A and B are shown apart, each in its own frame.
Chain A
């Protein structure tokens, strides 16, 4: 898939899925983490606007720390995250080896969440 065709998070997931197996996981982690952090920045802003300027929610910050840890390859961060967090990040029945597949889903899930 041509880079120029990446116009949405869904396209990004498609692009990553076409990567060679060897780099699939590490690239997913980094791209998922960084993109999720950008989406979160916007989500923070939305929270701020909705709440009339109240301090950012600790839960949202926790999400951000987790996505950053994911970026560095910590699958365990997702596994051990709270049930509430997990439900918004990954399906609760995911096996550890499958977690990285859901890293990119953070982009989509958190984009409208938090």
Chain B
């Protein structure tokens, strides 16, 4: 089921494998004093694809994200402190509430999570994707089916603006016309990058490999580098603002499906706007996120 260069995949894990992981934990804990950030399965990867799919049935997207976080060794929220507090809050939900069933618990967890979402838009001014490979691999596996249509939305969104710009026959100045042509070229390059991402997402195996994750990371980086190379100061004169809001939204959706935490994903996606419209971008994205990710982007 595995080949050289890949970690072994077993379902379920035999006791010997489990104890191999335990011994590695003991060794690292003794040497370093912490295992924070370590993936749960480091010697052999154990996969439960049917279980992971079934987690979506519980009426909320919390459980698949929680499971990915647990396996990948990364915090559900922006920091480990917030992650810890979130788990505390959920673990301490009273017995009576749990007995009301999955949907009720999902709503309560969504309320708890909302407390930890940022109340002000403060996107990071970085375009570097810093998603650990293992984390992205896990997210690619969980979101393998939802990623292609999301990327298709990004592709279609870019295509829409290219067609709009190409359909404008008259610009007020020659400078604007040249900027428009330049932007179309950049958008076409972004379109190629997203097309490559989409093709790769559609071809993902049930168990994405480290190489798949690394390739996805490279393609996203290419897309974002192209987006952030826009002539920001002048772009508002040329590009439709509503369209830009939509682009941030679908880009945000794609990044989070690949394992980027919501806040940095918002920051990276927001950079496509340039500094002048950053605040509006964040607001627009949060509105879109409410629809795309109920329970994740709803606080204000």
Contacts and interface: CB of A to CB of B under 8 A. Distances in A.
Is the A/B pair a real complex? Answer: yes
Interface of A: 3-4, 6-9, 11-12, 15, 23, 27, 30-31, 34-35, 37-39, 41-42, 44-46, 48, 53-56, 58-59, 61-62, 64-66, 68-69, 72, 74, 76-77, 80-83
B243 interface: no
Contact of B13 (A23, A38, A80, A83): A38
A65 B91 contact: yes
B276 to A, nearest CB: 41
Contact of A8 (B19, B21, B70): B19
Interface of B: 11-13, 15-16, 18-19, 21-23, 25-27, 29, 33-35, 40-41, 46, 48, 50-51, 54-55, 57-58, 63, 66, 70, 84, 87-88, 90-92, 94-95, 98, 101-102, 105
Contact of A65 (B12, B90, B102): B90
| Prevailing SS type, chain B contact patch | helix
Contact of A53 (B33, B46, B54): B54
A38 B41 CA distance: 8
Given A35-B18, A77-B92, A69 B98 contact: no
23 contacts: A6-B19, A6-B26, A7-B16, A12-B22, A12-B26, A30-B25, A30-B35, A31-B25, A34-B40, A37-B40, A38-B18, A42-B12, A45-B12, A46-B12, A55-B54, A55-B57, A56-B55, A61-B58, A68-B87, A74-B84, A74-B88, A74-B91, A80-B91
Given A42-B13, A72-B84, A37 B19 contact: no
| Prevailing SS type, chain A contact patch | helix
Nearest to B48: A45
